[in-house]
Amino acid sequence: MTSAAPIDLSRVHLIGIGGSGMSGVARILLDRGAVVTGSDVKDSRPVRALRAQGATIAVGHAAENLELAGAQPTAVVTSFAAIPKDNPELVAAAERGIPVIRRSDLLGELMEGYTQVLFAGTHGKTSTTSMAVVALQAAGEDPSFAIGGQLNRAGTNAHHGSGRIFVAEADESDASLLRYRPSVAVITNIEPDHLDYFGSAESYYQVFDDFADRLPDDGTLVVCLDDEATVRCGLRAKERGISVLGYGTADAAARHPEIPTGAVVSDESVEGHVTEAAVDLRVPGHEGTVAYHLALPGRHMVLNSAAALLSCAIAGADPRKLAEGLSSFTGVRRRFELRGEITAGEQTGTRVYDDYAHHPTEVYAVLSAARGKVESEGNGARVVVCFQPHLYSRTQAFAKEFADALSLADAAVVLDIFGAREAPVEGVDSRIITQHISDDTEVVYEPDFSRAPASVASVTAPGDVVITMGAGTVTMLADPILEALAGASAGTFADTGEEAE
């Protein structure tokens, strides 16, 4: 469906414009003066925000939506996974000879001419990309960016900046990252995923090798030394003549002297609600130790911050100012996002967080961070998770791994699977996870979504940390859980979250 001709971006129609990826490129197009139209299945918050910025958007898909601007668009943008080929707008575009391009093609075009700092990896892309953006802003840059989540401080997922740097996520789920030409390419970790698309773990690993090959002769590949698959990718790239720098803990750097080290986490400690970190930077012209603190818990977040620091320093930003930006980073929507805290009644001190984790490694990292947080506070609080598995194929492939990760929680309420684009698979439901969770964890299998808040409240004690977790509709439960907790205790809560999309 991709047109080989130069892309005319004067009038662009985006199908599924309210999605996290599509809404971002739409914002950049509007900032650059393009006429933007689009369609989506629902009238969501991103849709309303884009309308306020000047886009014309229809709810529902129909061929006539291509005329929303009064003239047909010069390009129609779609995504690989979310939009079926028989979508009436896609069909109409093909009949009229309108170029149809993928969202990744559009982003690649928008990034042309910039120093591109791109973040790839199975986990951590959104958080690391967001850290890089905030750090660069503190360093006096005005980077353009496109992120898969909404920056808490900026309240947006994309921006057309005046600076020379473009920061973006490089999504591997449908090999979109192979459509970009990074100046600095960061790989946070590699673990087989999206096997419904790739077919095998080998094909999944290969896409990251191919991504590294997209670097120019003067480009740099940045790899995490704490992840063995990423190290192997870096070694293969080095053998092909690509410049490679590693980042990670001191132990990991010592294990892999064959990869030049660009950043080493030399100190890490939890002090109250923040993590204090120090990183030894070894970039020519930027050697030395920089210290900063993070408002988000967990070693994975410290490693993400080191990746952001190193990549932005390679791009030419001042590390000291970058560190100031990292200290001011308040997180990304749905990445250990505090949605509210009970402030009165029997459940006083109970906090509810929301997180996007939907792979066993991500679930393990978030629950480890939460456990470290409650242990550092020393008040006897427990960790309660409300988890919604995402995709039947992923649940079937990783049921035991999900169970092992969820066993880190003191209590786990497990909802039915959110199938998204997949049809149900016979014999596959959330019970293939719950049957393997440790006996030390209180487990509730809750197939009734509407009863989930009450189920969570039934296993929650005062002061506990509660986390709604998953890539589906579970995010909608954070506020009802707060209400259930407050109602059960006849107390009140302070809602720090926002309307669920």
Question: Which residue numbers are catalytic?
Answer: 125-126, 169
- CB 396 within 8 Å of CB 425: yes
* Diameter over CA atoms, the chain: 65
Cα distance between residue 4 and residue 38, in whole Å: 23
Question: Minimal CA–CA distance to 166: which of 144, 182, 186?
Answer: 144
> Is residue 125 part of an annotated ligand binding site?
yes
Tokens of 282: 């070894």
- CB 312 within 8 Å of CB 132: yes
Pairing of strands 261-271, 274-283: antiparallel
- CB 361 within 8 Å of CB 299: no
> Is residue 74 part of an annotated ligand binding site?
no
> Is residue 127 part of an annotated ligand binding site?
yes
86, burial (CB in 10 Å: exposed 0-12, middle 13-18, buried 19+): exposed
What is the CA 338 to chain-centroid distance, rounded?
A: 16
Tokens of 409: 């929680």
> Is residue 126 part of an annotated ligand binding site?
yes
> Is residue 200 part of an annotated ligand binding site?
no
Give the Å distances, CA to CA, from 278 to 106, 265, 321. 38, 6, 14
Tokens of 307: 């990746």
Alpha helices by DSSP H, 444-498: 452-458, 478-489
Cα distance between residue 109 and residue 103, in whole Å: 10
Q: b or e along 357-383 (b: 16 or more beta carbons within 10 Å of the residue's beta carbon)?
A: bbbbbbbbbbbbbbbbbbeeeeeebbb
Alpha helices by DSSP H, 81-174: 88-96, 103-111, 125-138
> Is residue 121 part of an annotated ligand binding site?
yes
Residues flagged as binding site for ATP: 121-127
